[in-house]
Structure 1
Amino acid sequence: MSAAPLTIGEAARRTGVSAKMIRWYEATGLLPPAVRSESGYRHYGEADLHTLRFIRRARDLGFSVDGIADLLALWRDRARPSAGVKAIAQEQIADLRRRIAELEGMARTLEHLSDACCGDDRPECPILDDLAAADRAPMPRPSRRGLPGRGPARKSV
């Protein structure tokens, strides 16, 4: 006997994924479209909850939506070799290390600028001077891949 279907609110509560993100995961294809009641309400089963927990955990580890889609495809393919999964994980590790290095560089720059600022009643401020410097090359921004509406085209594995 299967459990009674859950509403989107209950699915959100049980998985820690907001209702808004559940709808977005459905729209992007990470989660199959929910079964609808006669009145049009979404209903979710245990398999959907398991998929949502998988997605949430992958997001917690910093995977992009495209990376999660690749991992979900591999997870669902019980005949898959683990080499593809490991390759995706190793790519993610390299990306995280690159992003950490970028963030550490930003922190060092801000520490240097903060140390140079007197922080007193005078208007001179090296922090604002640096931000306003038009002739500087922009600093690299941390990756925002995988957020809704962002990121490069999907890589195939």
Structure 2
Amino acid sequence: MNIGQASKATGVTAKMIRYYDEIDLVRPASRTDSNYREYDDRQINELRFIKRARSLGFSMEEITQLLSLWRDRGRPSREVKAIADRHVADLDARIGEMQAMADTLRHLSHCCAGDDRPDCPILADLTEGKEPSDPVKRRPSFNR
């Protein structure tokens, strides 16, 4: 398969396939006499693997580790599980942070009259410069 066909078969753009090749994430493609890349089933499977791992939010470093483990048929599954568990913990932490941001913005939006007056608790909060997850922070009260 040429790079266009590989892209279509995997959902990975040709630009990203070239990038993965440059950083040695995928095994190098063979070359035709005219120096075009040719991809075999093994490389197509690797690209699909990477695409799926990216869709689950794994970092490039994690994907490199997972690919290495996937290629090693004698690997202990505990190593794969450890990578996945660390990733889940990271996702859970980020979800918590994002929920705190959404809660803060929801509260600030609720406090904002959204009318022609210049008073705005959203701008006042941004001016204070505190993190949204700061539990000590009290929201400004604006009289409507």
In the superposition, the TM-score normalised over structure 2's length comes to: 0.84
Q: How does 1:127-146 map to 2 (within 5 A)?
A: 127-133=122-128, 136-138=129-131
In structure 2, the partner of 1:3 is none
2:87 to 86, 92, 107: 92
Per-residue displacement from partner, 1:19-53 (whole Å, max 9, x unpaired)?
Answer: 12111211222112222222222221111110011
In structure 1, the partner of 2:62 is 67
Alpha-carbon distance, 1:11 to partner: 0.9
SS in 1 for 2:87: helix
Q: How does 1:3-152 map to 2 (within 5 A)?
A: 6-133=1-128, 136-138=129-131
Distance 1:90 1:61, change over 3 A: same
Alpha-carbon distance, 1:139 to partner: 5.3
Determine the C-alpha separation between the residues in 2 that align with 1:94 and 1:83: 16
> Which consecutive residues of structure 1, in runs of 5 or more, have no partner in the other structure?
1-5, 141-157
Determine the C-alpha separation between the residues in 2 that align with 1:139 and 1:25: 37
Alpha-carbon distance, 1:132 to partner: 3.1
Instruction: Name which one, 1 or 2, has greater alpha-carbon Rg.
Output: 2
Aligned residues: 133
Determine the C-alpha separation between the residues in 1 that align with 2:85 and 2:57: 12
Distance 1:138 1:39, change over 3 A: farther
**Equivalent pairs: percent with the same residue?**
54
Determine the C-alpha separation between the residues in 2 that align with 1:37 and 1:121: 67
The alignment's C-alpha RMSD in Å is 1.6
The answer to which structure, 1 or 2, has the higher relative contact order (CA under 8 A, 6+ apart) is: 1
Per-residue displacement from partner, 1:130-154 (whole Å, max 9, x unpaired)?
Answer: 2233xx34458xxxxxxxxxxxxxx
